[in-house]
Structure 1
Amino acid sequence: MDKSTREKILEFINAHPGTHLREIQRKLKLGLKTVQYHLYTLEKEGKIVSRRKGLYKRFYPTFLVKRNAKFWVCYHKNKKGEFCYI
């Protein structure tokens, strides 16, 4: 059974926390509006959260966000394991 587009996007975010819209679009070879729609839906369903960091809106799996925590462990390309205050 093939995975749905939404499942592919969620798996990508789980594997690459802190990724941004264009990166998801390029890596999964999807249309921009398609990715935007599914990111909106995943966030609305509570499966991902987004945070703006610099010029980019970055997406994270909900399981990385600790309840009542004031920080997350963020995984960016060049800064693995960096603590980000939110």
Structure 2
Amino acid sequence: MTSSTPSYPPGELFASTVSYYAAFRPRYAPEFYTLLAERFGLDGTQRTLDPGAGPGIIALELAPLVGEVIAVDPEKGMLEEGRRLAAEHGITNIT
């Protein structure tokens, strides 16, 4: 049997969807970030990890609450879009 589903190398599965994902992925409610800040005592000094960051949907919102966000994603294009969005919003504490 052969599969009709194309096989993509790691890091290329979502390459063609980067701009759509960044523009149309639903965002989390502001209350989510308020809850995180209260629950974990975020005071602008912490370092946090955003695994599977995509274009930084969570990282961009967490950045004002912590000292540094480390965003990780296997898709290079997602990280590039995240960098672009961070620069567009003047956010400088995301790695």
TM-score interval (norm. to shorter):
0.3 to 0.5
- The structure carrying a bigger strand percent of its residues is 1
- The structure carrying a bigger helix percent of its residues is 2
Q: TM-score, normalised by structure 1?
A: 0.32
Q: TM-score, normalised by structure 2?
A: 0.30
Determine which structure has more spread, i.e. the larger CA radius of gyration: 2
